[in-house]
Amino acid sequence: MDTEQLTQKILDGDRRALARAITLVESGRKDHRAKAGELLSELAKHKRQSLRIGLSGTPGVGKSTFIESFGMMLTGLGLRVAVLAVDPSSARSGGSILGDKTRMERLSRDKNAFIRPSPSQSHLGGVARRSREAVALCEAAGFDVVLIETVGVGQSETVVAEMSDLFLLLLAPAGGDELQGVKRGIMEMADLILVNKADGPLKPVATRTCADYSGALRLLRKRPQDPEGFPKALMVSAVEEHGLDNAWEEMQALTAWRKANGHWDRRRADQACYWFDQEVRQALLARLETPEAKAQMAELARTVSEGGKSPGEAARIMLQALGAA
C-alpha cells in the first residue's frame, strides 16, 4: 500500500490500515521512518483532534478495569474510543500493559473501540515518540476519545501528561499514610483524581481517601488552565460502574471551559514545543551512544583521570568530534 492509499484509508477510519500505520511508526527501520514521516505530515493537514485522556495509576489500582468500563460507557454514548499504552518497562518484563486484553474483553470486541498494546521498547524516548505518533494516527482516524494508559514508572507520567489534553490519576482507597506516597509532582499534573474501588467494604475508606485528596489538591498552587473547583477528586467504582458518568461530565466541563478560554489550543501548542525540544535533546544524546563516540569518550575519560587533560579541555574535544561545538 502506498502512502496515499494508507492516508485515505486512515482518514476513512479503516482499523486495519490504522493498525498497519501504527506498526509502521513503531518501526526503527530507516525507510519505515521516512514513510511514517510522510504519512504523519499528510494526515496532519486534516487537523483532526480527539480528546486525549492520559491515565496513570500504580499496578492493581484498576486501570484496565476502568478503561473497560469507561470505554464501554463512551461507546454506549456513540463515541469512538482508542486505547493506547505507554510502557517503558515492557521490554524488561517481557509483557506489556494492555497485554491483558482479557480484562478488556467487552471493549476489545466493540466495533467502536480500538485497543493497541504498547510496543516493546526499553528506551523511554523511543516509546514517547512512537506513542505520540500512534495518538496522532488515532486522531486522524477520527476517534472521539484516545485513552493513553501508563503505569507510573520513572518519567512515564510526564510523557503521558505531555501528550494528553486531560490527565487522570487513578488511586486506590488507602489510609492517610499512603496519601503521602503520591509524589507531589504527579499530583500537580492531575486534572482529576479518581479514587477507584469505591464499593462494598472499601466504600467508607474511599470516601475518606477522596476527602483527603480533595484537601491536598486545594493546597496546590492554582494553575491558570483550571476553572474554579479544579483539579478535583472524585470516587468511582470501575467494577460496579459507579461514578463514571459523573467523571465524564467533569471531563467535558473542564474541556469546554479550556476550549472557551484559549487553554486547549495553548496547551497543544506548548506540548508541540515540548516535544520539539525533547526530540532535539534525544537526538543529541543519541550521538553519544554510537560505538565510535563511546570509544572516544572512554579514551578521553582515561586521559582526564590520569591528569593528561582537564575535564573542560577533554569535553571540548569530544563536542568537536560530535559536531556539537
Q: Least distance from C-beta 186 to ligand GTP, angstroms?
A: 15
Q: What is the DSSP string of 12-46?
A: TT-HHHHHHHHHHHH---HHHHHHHHHHHHHHHTT
User: Do 54 and 158 form a contact (C-beta atoms < 8 A)?
Assistant: no
The residue sitting closest to ligand GTP, measured at its beta carbon, is: 62
Report how far residue 198's alpha carbon sits from residue 219's, in angstroms, rounded to the nearest whole number.
24
Helix, strand, or coil here: 50?
A: coil
Q: Least distance from C-beta 20 to ligand GTP, angstroms?
A: 26
Where in 48-67 is the site for ligand GTP (CB under 6 A)?
A: 57, 59-65
Per-residue x/- track, 285-324, Mg ion (CB under 5 A): ----------------------------------------
Q: Least distance from C-beta 56 to Mg ion, angstroms?
A: 12
Q: Which does 215 bind (CB under 5 to 8 A by kind): Mg ion, ligand GTP, none?
A: none
- Nearest residue (CB) to Mg ion, 63 versus 263: 63
Strand partners, 84: 148
State yes or no: residue 229 binds ligand GTP (CB under 6 A): no
Report how far residue 257's alpha carbon sits from residue 244's, in angstroms, rounded to the nearest whole number.
20
Q: Which does 133 bind (CB under 5 to 8 A by kind): ligand GTP, Mg ion, none?
A: none
State yes or no: residue 238 binds ligand GTP (CB under 6 A): yes
State yes or no: residue 103 binds ligand GTP (CB under 6 A): yes
- Nearest residue (CB) to Mg ion, 141 versus 151: 151
- Nearest residue (CB) to Mg ion, 7 versus 118: 118
Which range in 23-31, 62-70, 204-212, 277-285 contacts Mg ion by CB under 5 A? 62-70
User: Do 122 and 92 form a contact (C-beta atoms < 8 A)?
Assistant: yes
Q: Which of 66, 58, 128, 153 is nearest to 276 (CA)?
A: 128
Which grid coordinates are listed for 65?
Answer: 478495569
State yes or no: residue 64 binds Mg ion (CB under 5 A): yes
Strand partners, 82: 114, 146
Q: Least distance from C-beta 128 to ligand GTP, angstroms?
A: 19
Q: Which of 237, 282, 297 is nearest to 130 (CA)?
A: 282
Helices (H) and strands (E) counted in the chain, each on its own, are 15, 7
Strand ranges across the sheet with 166-171: 113-115, 81-85, 145-150, 51-56, 166-171, 192-195, 232-235
Interface residue list for ligand GTP (CB under 6 A): 57, 59-65, 97, 103, 151, 196-197, 199-200, 237-239
